[in-house]
Amino acid sequence: MKKRPALKPGYAKGDCLVARLPANESSAKELFGAAYVIDVEPESANVVIVDLDYLSPTPPTLEDFARLHPLVLTHHQWEGDVAITVTTRDPALDEVVEITGNLDLQWPGIELRRDRGIWANWKGPRDVDLDEVNKEAGTFDPDSPARYLRYGDWAPGLQATLQAEWNAGKH
């Protein structure tokens, strides 16, 4: 990947991200992952990033992004949730992450809105553990979001790699 100029703080909504993943013990060659900035928080440095189901020895083109789908996690304890992370943009990732372009993409299993200030996916599978806690506390609301999003560090390509290993029976 060619070096790109320094970015202004944060990514923009619609940015198509390509991540160069170094060779490791599970892959002897360099691979590429893909992600999409589905939303941004203008009042903070947070971005909402959806990992896409892409792990390949060639980087995706902008045209590829229009055909890609969000990565659905079933490895380990994941229960079919889409890999979405709310994170701050980490300038240290500029060495491995490149913005390929910007598109307006939408997927049927994702509807992001905030609930009490927290990002949530209103169309994903319900978080049954959270529902149980709310039922026991008497605060369950069937109209509440299906699942709140993870806040934390985003590791480009990590979930795609773990899911591919899981699918190949390497667990």
E runs forming strands in the chain = 15-21, 31-40, 46-56, 72-73, 81-82, 84-88, 97-102, 112-115, 118-121, 147-148, 150-151
Domain segments of the chain as ranges: 15-105+151-165
pTM of the full predicted structure?
0.82
Could you give the CA distance from residue 67 to residue 90 in angstroms, rounded to a whole number?
Answer: 27
Strand duo 147-148 + 72-73: pairing: unpaired
Tens-place pLDDT, residues 61-118: 999 999 999 998 878 666 778 889 999 888 888 889 999 999 999 998 898 988 888 8
What is the pLDDT at residue 76?
66
Residue 49 confidence (pLDDT): 95
Predicted confidence at residue 6, as pLDDT, reads: 42
| Of the candidate ranges 1-15, 43-57, 110-124, the one whose mean pLDDT is the lowest | 1-15
What are 142-171's pLDDT values in tens digits?
A: 777 777 888 988 889 888 888 888 878 776
pLDDT of residue 8: 46
At 157 the pLDDT is 87
The pLDDT, as a whole number, for residue 47 is 93
